[in-house]
Amino acid sequence: MRRVLMLVALAAAALLALAGSSSAAAPADSQALRDAVNVEGVGDHMAALQAIADANDGTRASGTPGFDASLEYVKEKLEATGDLDVAVQPFLFDVFIEGAPGELEQISPDPTSYSDVNTMEYSAAGEVTGQLVAVNDIVIPPGATANTSTAGCEAGDFVPASETETQVAVIQRGTCTFQQKAENAAAAGYDAAVIFNEGQPGREGTLFGTLSADYNQAIPVIGTSFAVGEGLYSQLQAGETVVVRVFTDGETRTDQPTANLIAKTKTGRTDRQVVVGAHLDSVYGGPGINDNGSGSGQNLEIALQMARLGIQPRNQVVFAWWGAEESGLIGSQYYVDQLSKKQIKDIAVNLNFDMVGSPNYVRFVYDGDASDTASTGSTGSGVVEDVFNDYFASQGLETEPTAFDGRSDYDAFVAVGIPAGGTFTGAEGVKTAEQAAVYGGVAGEQYDPCYHEACDTYDSVFNHPPGLPLLQGNGAKGLGEMIDAGAHATVAFAQTTSAVEGTDKGNANGKYKADYLGSYLRR
């Protein structure tokens, strides 16, 4: 399909012009905005979000006072410019709150407590000790490609559970959703379920899965690694009677109020909107200063500095701070769901910034044309990828592709065919020696060692004790590089006269079916 190429300024020879206010000189390219949006300014917003978390039990999760205070902080800053139409978009959501970590223990034979386990999001709470039973269609050794095991996807995969004995189903990850597997286990009469990873490279670790908010079965469900599942399954295949204990402690709270915050420029074509988004909420277990105070702070500073510089975009820019991302991308999905078909077509592009300050960072760019990953990007997303990659290349900086896999708020936009893209500095993935040679940092450690933890603080991002220079740490270096790219891309799409293919074409890669729903796997 023909791609409409964008003309963007990347170096001295660039021709992109910004339309400034009548009292301000029109900058020749994105340099003025990049100079204005800096680590110090973004860092100030991140420090303010840290202070809000500190005053609110260490969290800024949607549905808590910490989130409400975060939204009010951003709102006040935006309204003070006088150049933006600012609105709060309230909505209700269901949230899963875990009271204590999930547990999996082998009682007999050979008593063993397993550490690599997680409660499946939206699991019922409970403690079950019973005989382990394997479902049909488990594939060990695993198939050559991912999503080949159909274990637990059909009712017939389950041996009917005993009516008198407590039993726990063990199920392999594969083609269908975890919700489907858990519901089939409950329907077959099992008292709990253990779902283990499938086993191919990249699908071996502990599962962080979701059963989705509409899961309403009474059985507890644990996710675990391929190694644990393989060990349990091999005992059953050898004829052993295996007894396990499953423990989960969580609750789903329904109809919790929260909100998105939307700020629109007062100038620019409304039929070619540029939606610049970042989620504002943290997880319940921490302040979320990298995830996602970094993206939220970056976008806030871009909006403030565009106003200060008098930049009047050719295409309307819609800045969005999403709520309830950590509960399954709920805020951004709600926003898209409220749009008419015409309003969807009026969105030219979505730029998504979710974690841009990882202390052990890599410069990841979303793989919009799906040339390097199993991506699910919509038509036109390759144009967005090119804008970021070309910018970084002009600065002599290398990048790596990352997949559209449903892990962040681009998901709702991609699903309706809106071109999307953005940057990402890494989460729980582990930095390789090759990456450390390019980006610095420490090989063998997570990109963000504090991802979804209480230690995701201002100090962890900037990688230094309080009182030392702000720019000292590796996280600050990466943040500076990424916010420059974010400012450049915002200007490029705000001022372009070219169209971007997408919304009137639908999704380019067929039926949209991402593996993730936010930070949790759904299958």
What residues are labeled active site? 325
d(CA 516, CA 523): 7
Cα 329 to Cα 200, 354, 520: the distances in Å are 27, 12, 10
Report the run of H or E that residue 477 belongs to, with start and end. Answer: helix 474-495
Where does 26-170 have alpha helices with state H? 31-36, 39-54, 65-79
Asked whether the beta carbons of 296 and 319 are under 8 A apart, the reply is no
- Work out the burial of residue 165: count CB atoms within 10 Å of its CB; fewer than 13 is exposed, 13-18 middle, 19 or more buried: exposed
Quick one: how far is CA 461 from the chain centroid?
Answer: 18
Whole-angstrom Cα distance, residue 172 to residue 140? 9
Checking phi first, is residue 370 left (phi over 0); if not, alpha (psi -120 to 50) or beta?
left
Q: CB neighbours of 22 closer than 8 A, spacing ≥ 6?
A: none
Segment holding 285, helix H or strand E:
none
Q: Measured at the alpha carbon of residue 334, what is the angle toward residues 3 and 503, in degrees to the nearest 5?
A: 15
Q: Is the peptide bond before 292 cis (omega within 30 degrees of 0)?
A: yes
Q: What distances in angstroms separate CA 493 from CA 29, 277, 458, one per listed residue?
A: 12, 14, 31
3-state secondary structure of 215: coil
User: ∠ CA(198), CA(204), CA(207), 5° rounding?
Assistant: 80
Q: How far is CA 202 from CA 73, 88, 144, 355, in A?
A: 39, 40, 12, 21
Rounded Cα–Cα distance for residues 410 and 485 (Å): 17
For residue 114, which phi and psi values (nearest 5 degrees)?
Answer: -95, 135
Q: What are phi and psi of 129, to 5 degrees?
A: -120, 120
